[in-house]
Amino acid sequence: MSDAKDFSFKGVMTALVSPFQKGALDVASFKKVLRHQIDHGIQGFVVNGTTGESPTLRLEEVKDLLKLAQSEVSGQVPVLLGTGSNSTHKTLEMTRLAADLKADGALVVTPYYNKPPQRGLREHYLTLAKAVEIPIILYNVPGRTAVSMTPETVHELSRHRNIRGIKEASGNLNLLQELKSNSEEDFVFLSGDDESSVDFCLQGGDGVISVLSHVIPKEFVSLIDRAREGDASAASEFEKYKKLCQWLFVESNPIPVKMALYKMGLIASPEMRLPLVSLDVDKITDLQQVLDEVFQ
């Protein structure tokens, strides 16, 4: 049994970067990022997600990052562990590890590359939910995985008590109402697309798992909270951050956000692990200009 607390998994949750220096984890920078996030009201975290360069992290590093995050957070907000892969067996092992390490939940991306049919997706997630007593958040991101859960699959999975919500990162806002229509009442809908996340919440979404929140945590929490309350002015106010949002994805995530955090003095190096590389030098000056405009 997991000792996970009964968090709502709503609001703004940051998909944390994994800072490196000379090939090793930069623990001091990771703690600095976490403290900045907590101090500015972020409502949850994901460790070992795509933004954390999960494909390149060794198992001991994943454990270390989770424990560091848990120590800094001290139970104030949920800490999820990314556990997904395109092997159900491996995903189950990682999800069991998340439960053993007392993560507050597991973020599980749809299996990528091998492109299972919908019945395979259902069996994949139900296998996890039946085997491990930990809250599971589905993660639908067809732009990276080449497979997408249908509303019918989400509806069926939402009925299992251990499957608590979905991170929907297709950017298709028309899907939200269809997903909500037959899913369980307490099922949580989180955007995985920063640029459309305010509109997502205005249309009934519960929050966002974000990259942008690394850079403007306090402002983004306020905007998402207002959008969840139905304040339409949040959308027009968010317009001033759209350019920043677009620049954070000018190259593959998390290349730009690491450079932004480095320029902000929150991490000691923008170092990536291959096959990802640091932001193209021709783009650094423009990114700095965008940051200057945001913080002027």
CATH number at residue 213: 3.20.20.70
Q: Using an 8 Å Cβ cutoff, are 189 and 206 in contact? A: yes
State the pLDDT confidence band at 2, using cuts at 50, 70 and 90. Answer: very low
Whose structure tokens read 């070992």?
A: 48
- Please indicate, yes or no, if residue 4 is contained in any of the structural domains: no
Q: pTM to 2 decimals? A: 0.95
Q: What is the mean pLDDT of residues 6-29?
A: 96
Mean pLDDT of the chain: 96
- CA angle in degrees (0–180, nearest 5) for 153-227-212: 80
The residues assigned a catalytic role are 139, 167
- Please indicate, yes or no, if residue 106 is contained in any of the structural domains: yes
What count of Cα atoms within 13 Å lies in the side-chain half-sphere of residue 28? 5
- Please indicate, yes or no, if residue 1 is contained in any of the structural domains: no
Residues above pLDDT 70, as percent of the chain: 98
The enclosing H or E element of 45 equals strand 45-47
Q: What is the mean pLDDT of residues 168-185?
A: 89
Token pair recorded at residue 259: 């450079």
pLDDT for the residue 1 = 39
Cβ-based neighbours of 4, under 8 Å, separated by 6 or more: 99, 102, 103, 104, 105, 134, 135
d(CA 288, CA 256): 11
d(CA 189, CA 52): 22
Report residue 291: phi and psi, to 5°: -65, -40
- Please indicate, yes or no, if residue 282 is contained in any of the structural domains: no
pLDDT for the residue 5 = 67
254 cis-preceded (ω within 30 degrees of 0)? yes
- Please indicate, yes or no, if residue 94 is contained in any of the structural domains: yes
Residues above pLDDT 90, as percent of the chain: 93
Cβ-based neighbours of 119, under 8 Å, separated by 6 or more: none
Q: How many domains does the chain have?
A: 1
Using alpha carbons, select from 130, 117, 123 the residue that is nearest to residue 156. Answer: 123
- Please indicate, yes or no, if residue 68 is contained in any of the structural domains: yes
Task: Name which residue leads in pLDDT, 2 or 286.
Answer: 286
- Please indicate, yes or no, if residue 17 is contained in any of the structural domains: yes
Residue type (1 letter), 250: V
Q: What is the mean pLDDT of residues 190-212?
A: 97
- Please indicate, yes or no, if residue 274 is contained in any of the structural domains: no
pLDDT for the residue 183 = 87
Task: Name which residue leads in pLDDT, 124 or 184.
Answer: 124
Domain holding 80, by residue range, is 11-230
